[in-house]
Amino acid sequence: MKIKFLAFTSLFLLSSCTLSPAPRKLTIAPAPAPTSKQYTTEAELVAVGDILMHMALTRSGYNAQTKTYNFDRFFTETKSIISSGNWAIANLETTLAGSELGYSEFPLFNAPAPIVDAAKKAGFNILTTANNHALDKGEIGVLNTIKNIRSRGVASTGTASSPQEAQKILIVTKNQISMAILAYSFSTNGIPIPQGKNYLVSLIDKAKILKDIARAKQQGADVVAIALHFGEEYQRHPTDEQKQLVKTLIQGGADIILGSHPHVVQPYQILNVVGRDGKPRKGVVIYSMGNFIAYQLGHYKDLGVIFKVKLRKQFPEETLTITKVEAIPTYTQNYTLNGKLNFRVLPIAATLSRPKDPLIPASKYPVLKEQLTDMNRHLNSLRGSR
């Protein structure tokens, strides 16, 4: 398997590289000569940051008459973008432990399981669960969260119900392209993992992640995407520790790094590194995708990003190419309708291009325009650096 980057403009990558057969090391190589049996297939990864279920969001979805929850309106405006992805990933930063344990927010999150129904309707098919709130409701919270996600036909990774399950690598194949999705968290907020049950939450351990990357490649993954819950909260730029870990993982075979935890967006970057085999390789990282939906206001906390990576696989050579990278800024709007506080995620550029929305105050449009300009500049601020 070979992977390379095609050249493109604006938010797109400006480089080319290749990834060789197992153990799939990146090398520079010319494009293969056409053959009579040559054909290509394409697939796209779409990823967002945190679904952070504060109680205001939980209450907004409650229907007092039916005593049920529905959160579909959260994602109505972004559904067309999310559903366009073959792999559509979000970080679920709450437990789904069950109503009997009480719905709650910071410091111990627990939300209604119908948030998964809403996410699935919007097009999400993978949820990562390795984050610092994974153990907020203890072991039962981890187990119930996994059950509530998977019983709805959505895949999850980052927490596990057994040692055997923790050893399994999630590999999802779309259009003949196999992607491994791994997820790790920097902590559990000081809540100890039950003794002898370290498998419950996948924590960041550089040596282990490198071994997992190698295992994913051995199991046939064309691409390895890693969700890392790391960095410093509310900081718009990655720390040196984030940068060093990402560089090490890309050297070790990771292709796409999806960051979360800071609750604000951090830039994306194309890294040119020397692999562990001494050969050049490249990887894509967005250090933080910010909040996708949450009730955190100001200082960039109500802004997020939808990160898209398009892949093309050429046969019979099985050359894999990243043909496009795109970052779409979003805004979480809270608004009052019929006396009730509601929430929805708006893609900023698309919102500005449409006729004015009656739910958006006229005074907000110039603010959104300024935020879009700032976010695009910020997202691209690390391009060209190493």
- The DSSP-derived string for 16-55 is --EE-STTT-EE--PPPPP-TT-EEEEEEEEEEEEE---H
Cβ contact 125:174 at 8 Å: no
pLDDT tens track for 108-136: 999 999 999 999 999 999 999 999 999 99
pLDDT tens track for 255-273: 999 999 999 999 999 898 9
The full set of domains in the chain, from first to last, is: 2-379 (3.60.21.10)
Q: What angle do CA 347, 85, 379 make, to 5 degrees?
A: 45
Residue 238: asked if its preceding bond is cis (omega within 30°), the reply is no
Cβ contact 118:127 at 8 Å: no
Cβ contact 160:199 at 8 Å: yes
3-state SS, residue 312: strand
Strand runs labelled E in 275-373? 280-289, 291-293, 303-315, 319-337, 340-347
pLDDT tens track for 310-369: 999 999 988 888 889 999 999 999 999 988 999 999 999 999 999 999 999 999 999 999
Q: Which residues pair with 267 in a beta bridge?
A: none
Q: Which whole number is the average pLDDT over 226-254?
A: 97
Give me the half-sphere count of Cα atoms (radius 13 Å) on the Cβ side of residue 286: 31
Look over the chain and give the mean of its residue pLDDT values, rounded to a whole number.
Answer: 91
Q: Which whole number is the average pLDDT over 168-182?
A: 98
Residue 280: asked if its preceding bond is cis (omega within 30°), the reply is no
Residue 310: predicted pLDDT = 95
pLDDT tens track for 293-304: 999 999 999 999
Residue 320: predicted pLDDT = 85
Residues constituting the chain: 386
Tokens of 34: 């056409």
Give the whole-angstrom CA distance, residue 99 versus residue 96: 9
Residue 99 parent element (H or E):
none
For 73, other C-beta atoms within 10 Å of its C-beta total: 15
For 251, other C-beta atoms within 10 Å of its C-beta total: 18
- The DSSP-derived string for 113-172 is THHHHHHHHHT--EEE--STTTTTTHHHHHHHHHHHHHTTT-EEESB-SSHHHHH--EEE
Q: Which whole number is the average pLDDT over 53-82?
A: 97
Residue 355: asked if its preceding bond is cis (omega within 30°), the reply is no
Give the whole-angstrom CA distance, residue 96 versus residue 146: 8
In this predicted structure, the answer to whether residue 237 has a pLDDT above a threshold of 60 is yes
- Reported confidence tier of residue 6, pLDDT bands at 50, 70, 90: low
Give the whole-angstrom CA distance, residue 319 versus residue 300: 39
